[in-house]
Structure 1
Amino acid sequence: MQDIDSVAFQAELWSVAEELAEAARAAILPHFRQVGLSADNKERDGFDPVTIADKAAEEAMRAVLHTRRPQDAILGEEFGNTAGTSGLTWVLDPIDGTRGFISGTPTWGVLISLNDESGPRLGIIDQPYIGERFCGGFGRAEMIGPHGNADLGARTTTDLDQAILFSTFPEVGHLEERAAFEAVAVEVKLTRFGCDCYAYALLAAGQIDLVIEAGLNSYDIAAPIAVIEAAGGIVTDWQGGKVHEGGRALAAATPELHAKALKILNHSLSKQRS
């Protein structure tokens, strides 16, 4: 097994990650905003769409890994687990925000993470239509976009009444999770919904302060963790522990803001259960 702390190996891994992002872009963009794009529903009791673009993008990324890193494991949203021997796992969400994708909004993204046994080591949040790519890990925290390259950096907000809060769905999760979220939302300056993974990118770019979500899978959150942590933010579950395997996530620009939101979330949950 190669030394993941080697600068040369890290450069190789970044090269692979960016090739994955380019492959996904090429597979997805021909389908975006196309009249007649169909979506299958993966849920019996709800609506969880998947399109030809989701599948084509993951297949394209898997083809890159088959050539460049066949020894690594893969966890992808559409095609599941592929075993590896290197101790490294590529976690892929070909389109995070398929509901937005089929609605024509440019808030979906491609999520790519490389995990070892400790969690995410590098991550990419890529928005192909806008042409923005947010990269974090191995000492890199960078946004590449139409206006050139810029360093990522989370805001310095410490007070909830000055914070901007995002979540994908107004219902957040189960009823108790929604109530806990709303207990935080009443304390902040502004709450917005519907950006999927792009909200995490905005936090890393210093545009917002908090993202609170529930019911996540590993492929939803692994890449955002790497990007936000590289930008100086913090991402945990609602108990303050690791969340790269999914569940309830709290992302914050500063430790102080994280602690205040975490206290409210847990107080609400505890109160509802008593």
Structure 2
Amino acid sequence: MQDIQQIIDTAHEMADAARQVILPLFRTRDIETENKRPADFDPVTQADRAAERVMREVLARRRPQDAILGEEFGESQGNSGLTWILDPIDGTRAFISGAPSWGVLIGLSDGNGIRYGLIDQPYIGERFEGGFGISRLRTRNQEHPLSVRTGHELSHATLMTTFPEIGTPDEAAAFQRVSRQVRLTRYGLDCYAYALLALGQIDLVIEAGLQSYDIAGPLAVVEAAGGIVTDWSGGPAAAGGQVIAAATLELHRAAMALLLNE
């Protein structure tokens, strides 16, 4: 791609625009919230929709030739072969609870895979970036390289997922087989768990029931930091579903064997 720098600049402009509309609504008690799935609480707020709107406005101005897949407003066609995959607030349940573990997710696919992504946490001012030879964390005042940690066996690993009741009963049982073998399991951090994996703070993230916009940005960040992201069968994870992210190949293999009950 000839225009990599423009792509990177566009992604950061989208993340900046999302920050500006989300932050004034965070931790406000009268924020408008709807339930997208009455049978299973799946909230969406005015902040989710406002953030995706401004990101789409940036793309319309800077890169109208690119396609878009967004959680709130669906698909928009393009002719460049590139698709931006947007989750304006990953972790809306955390957002409406006032917890700062939600994030803005931006991923870029060229049709053959995810090539670039951001995990942005506006409230604490952290932006994790991966792809095109970049792997870094930007804070308000500094920039740090990202790198997964190595040398931990499964018995000394830290595992994260968002929901204790992960997926179906069979998926939950598979997760528990891994959880029983690691040193520490923690819950509830949404996309921020992948950021911590890329930062070298934890070793595994295992989830189920994801959509493509849940994983595109995190996948790029983790892989750029040296990690591995696949589905539970070892195949591509960009479409979502069952996802495992690991710091090392050894951890990935050990966890996969337990997930598949081999």
Q: Indicate the TM-score class for this superposition, using the shorter chain for normalisation.
A: over 0.9
Equivalent residue runs for 1:138-153 within 5 Å: 138-146=132-140, 148-153=142-147
Residues matched between the structures, number:
262
Deviation, structure 1 residue 35: 1.9
Find the partner of 1:254 among 244, 248, 254: 248
1:224 aligns with 2:218: yes
In the alignment, what sits opposite 2:118?
124
Which consecutive unaligned segments of at least 5 residues does structure 1 have?
A: 269-274
Question: What CA distance in whole angstroms lies between the structure 2 residues aligned with 1:48 and 1:68?
Answer: 32
Does residue 162 of the first structure (1) align with residue 156 of the second (2)?
Answer: yes
SS of residue paired to 1:267: coil
State the partner residue of 1:271: none
Instruction: Please tell me whether the aligned partners of residues 91 and 219 of structure 1 are also in contact (alpha carbons under 8 angstroms).
Output: yes
Q: Which residue of 1 aligns with 2:238?
A: 244
Give the whole-Å Cα distance in 1 for the aligned partners of 2:141 and 2:165: 35
**Cα contact 1:109–1:197 (8 A) shared by 2:** yes
- What TM-score does the superposition give when structure 1 sets the normalisation length? 0.94
Tell me what 2:7 maps to: 13
Give the secondary-structure state (helix, strand or coil) at the position aligned to 1:225.
Answer: helix
In structure 1, what is the Cα distance between the partners aligned to 2:55 and 2:32?
22
CA distance in 2, matches of 1:146, 1:178: 38
Aligned to 1:187: 181
Deviations 1:170-207 (A, max 9, x none): 01100000000000000001000000000000000000
Q: Is the 8 A contact 1:157 1:253 kept in 2?
A: no
Decide whether the 8 Å contact of 1:158 with 1:256 is kept in 2: no
2:78 to 76, 84, 87: 84
Q: Structure 2 CA distance, aligned partners of 1:242 and 1:223? A: 14
Q: CA deviation at 1:216?
A: 0.2
What is residue 172 of structure 1 aligned with on the other side? 166
Kindly provide the amino acid, as one letter, of the partner of residue 21 in structure 1. Answer: A
Q: Is 1:35 the equivalent of 2:29?
A: yes
* Alpha-carbon distance, 1:157 to partner: 3.5
Q: Which amino acid aligns with 2:176?
A: E
Per-residue deviation at 1:44?
Answer: 2.5
Cα contact 1:76–1:93 (8 A) shared by 2:
yes
Superposition deviation, residue 158 in structure 1: 4.0
**Residues 1:45 and 2:39 are matched in the alignment:** yes
Given that 1:141 and 1:230 are in contact with CA atoms closer than 8 Å, whether structure 2 keeps it comes out as yes
Q: Deviations over 1:237-265 (max 9, x none)?
A: 00000010110000000011001000110
Instruction: Write the letter of the residue equivalent to 2:171.
Output: E
Change beyond 3 A, Cα 1:147–1:188: farther
The Cα of 1:32 is off from its aligned counterpart by 0.1
| Residue of structure 1 aligned with 2:200, choices 188, 199, 206 | 206
- Residue 63 of structure 2 is aligned to residue 69 of structure 1: yes
Residue 91 of structure 2 corresponds to residue 97 of structure 1: yes
Q: 1:146 and 1:84 mapped to 2: Cα distance?
A: 34
Distance 1:158 1:236 in 2: 19
Instruction: Mark the runs of 5 or more structure 2 residues left unpaired by the alignment.
Output: none
Shift in Å, 1:147: 5.2
